[in-house]
Chain A
Amino acid sequence: MDNTHKQSISIERIPLEEASRGIRLFKEGLIKYLLVFCSLVSIFTTVGIILVLAFETIEFFKVVPLREFLLDTEWTPLFYEKHFGIWPLLLGTVLTSAIAIVVALPFGIFAAIYLSEFASERVRKIVKPALELLAGVPTVIYGYFALLIVTPFLQNVIPNLSGFNSISPGIVMGIMIIPLISSLSEDAIYAVPQGLREGAYALGGRKLPTIFRVVIPTASSGIVAAVTLAISRALGETMIVTIAAGQQPRFTLDPRVPIETMTAFIVQVGLGDAPTGTLEYKTLFVVGSMLFLMTFVMNMWSQRLKGRFQQEI
């Protein structure tokens, strides 16, 4: 009541100014809603991805029983005799990702230790962006490295290594995700309060035990968050494995033979231009759904760990 009373008085006194104020308020409100709409685009994107994947996946399982999808050990949707067991693609993806993590983990963590505990501020400013360059190189270029540089080199070392295999793209992918692990782990190590380090020194601890018994355990959930994110990235990585790991879905964990990952299969069907509505076309989205679920779980887990770390610190 009081408010409207005030307003009516001011309108009487300066009507013109009040009218322009109304336009101004209207404009401000309109702009705000435009900005809200911009923010909603990212929500629509997520919803769009989920809907597109879910729709075709449901269509797929109307034809192929879930039992076959989960229990068959062959994946041959493009052959005359079709099998729809996801395991060969799943194993291919897990195998290349595991090799990548085995390579990236030691490099990433020791690089993080170097950057946060040994490097001077000046060195850090040069080295950190240089390392991040590794993740900035387009993946199709890494595919070239894997197929035409690393595989021929490894063939000299490992007998019976096929021209397409999972070890070479795995290693190259590992090099690519080093900065993912090192940057986020370094942030975590950096965030460990200086007081904890000084406490350890005051108790007579030297640098080494302080790093391994105080700093790293304190930063551990942050480091695990970094590694989880790196795993998610490796699972979804497409071009390196498409180019260098082959297109032969195989129920194996042998890193020397050609295999096919989930992402490489999606590319294979995409290049083949399967007609809309066919079962081949729907397999794109089934495999896509699997990939989305796996990376989504990893991303969410990583974020939870990161949140927990920030609370602990």
Chain B
Amino acid sequence: MKSGWRSGRLLESILKVVSLLAVIIPLLILTFFLITVFLDGESRLVPQFLTSYPSYKPEDAGILPALVGSIYLIILTSVIAVPIGVGSAIYLEEYGNGGWLDNLIEINISNLAGVPSILYGLLGLELFVRALSMGRSLLAGAFTMALLVLPIVITASREALRAVPSSLREASYALGASRWETIWQVVLPMSASGILTGVILSVCRAMGETAPLIFLGALTYLAFLPDSPMSPFTALPIQIFNWISRPQAGFAENAAAGIVVLMVVLLLLNGIAIYFRNKMQKRI
């Protein structure tokens, strides 16, 4: 009996160690990868790398058009995706009554979240580039990315709306406010930081997404900056992909340096998201 108890304790300790390792090993591998990439790209991480245009000589090449293109892309994407996504979330949370249409929309959103991103690229190619003749432009890229991140914006906004206590809504109705007045003046301000967190997460997704942009003409050799939504453009992940695909060793270093830049931008954005999440948790 006693030895059985002991072996039980032993097995339990083994399970604890094994399951702890299952958490630690992947994180260590990622850390190792990131350190290796940093060391690979270190020699290129000079200010000129951020301010130069791509070049056939790896040591002269920089990421300026890609960085600017990515920033324009995420701004345009947010301008399109946020109103639609938040509007959709408001409808589902505040107006929806669980009818067949609401159910269909909900099932559809969770399905869309699982559609491979490259298929959004095919949709963007046929719908925005060709049918709506936007050409291979920033605008076509932004519309495609907006559809891609819409499920993220909707899901995060719904959670933020749900976190607002219904007593606040009832108090607002009791004061004679209509449904929309209540949403606009009470519910939305209360959930703003939660919605913002979702928006930043979707921006991160749009920033790192590569596959759909391949069809939207994110060119890799641009000697100019995009000056209008109809301009051709390139983006950070596309530039990195292009450098990885080249056989010369010098370009691999550029890719590594580009990865460091992309990771720094993403970490900054995530830091902002965490800040707002904590702020929201304090408020509600």
Contacts and interface: CB of A to CB of B under 8 A. Distances in A.
A187 B262 CA distance: 31
A3 interface: no
A217 to B, nearest CB: 16
A140 B244 contact: yes
Given A39-B105, A111-B19, A138-B262, A295 B116 contact: yes
B259 A144 contact: yes
Interface in A116-175: 117-118, 127, 130-131, 133-134, 136-141, 143-145, 147-149, 175
- Chain A CB within 10 A, most for which of B5, B33, B83, B117: B33
B260 to A, nearest CB: 10
Interface in B7-42: 8, 11-12, 15-16, 18-23, 25-27, 29-30, 33, 36-37, 40
Contacts of A41: 84, 88, 147, 150
Nearest to B102: A39
Given A31-B180, A236-B118, A295-B116, A114 B19 contact: yes
A52 interface: yes
A239 B210 contact: yes
A140 B237 contact: yes
Contacts of B11: 208
Contact of B180 (A28, A107, A130, A211): A28
Contacts of A233: 114
Given A49-B119, A113-B15, A140-B240, A107 B25 contact: yes
Contact of B115 (A40, A49, A145, A239): A49
Given A32-B91, A42-B109, A134-B26, 16 more contacts: A24-B178, A35-B95, A39-B88, A41-B150, A107-B25, A110-B22, A111-B22, A114-B20, A118-B16, A131-B26, A133-B30, A138-B237, A208-B15, A236-B119, A238-B211, A299-B110
Interface stretch (A59-67, A195-203, A252-260, A266-274): A266-274
Nearest to B277: A129
Contacts of B204: 136
Interface stretch (A11-19, A74-82, A83-91, A284-292): A284-292
B114 A232 contact: yes
- Chain A CB within 10 A, most for which of B12, B92, B117, B118: B118
B190 interface: no
Contact of A208 (B8, B117, B127): B8
Given A138-B262, A238-B211, A38 B91 contact: yes
A27 B240 CA distance: 49
A303 interface: yes
Nearest to B122: A288
B23 A28 contact: no
B158 to A, nearest CB: 11
Given A35-B90, A111-B23, A270-B215, A136 B118 contact: no
A208 B16 CA distance: 10
A60 B145 CA distance: 27
B270 interface: yes
Closest 6 CB pairs of A and B: A236-B116, A138-B208, A38-B87, A110-B22, A114-B19, A35-B91
B266 A136 contact: yes
B175 interface: no
Contact of B22 (A43, A114, A117, A300): A114
B19 A266 contact: no
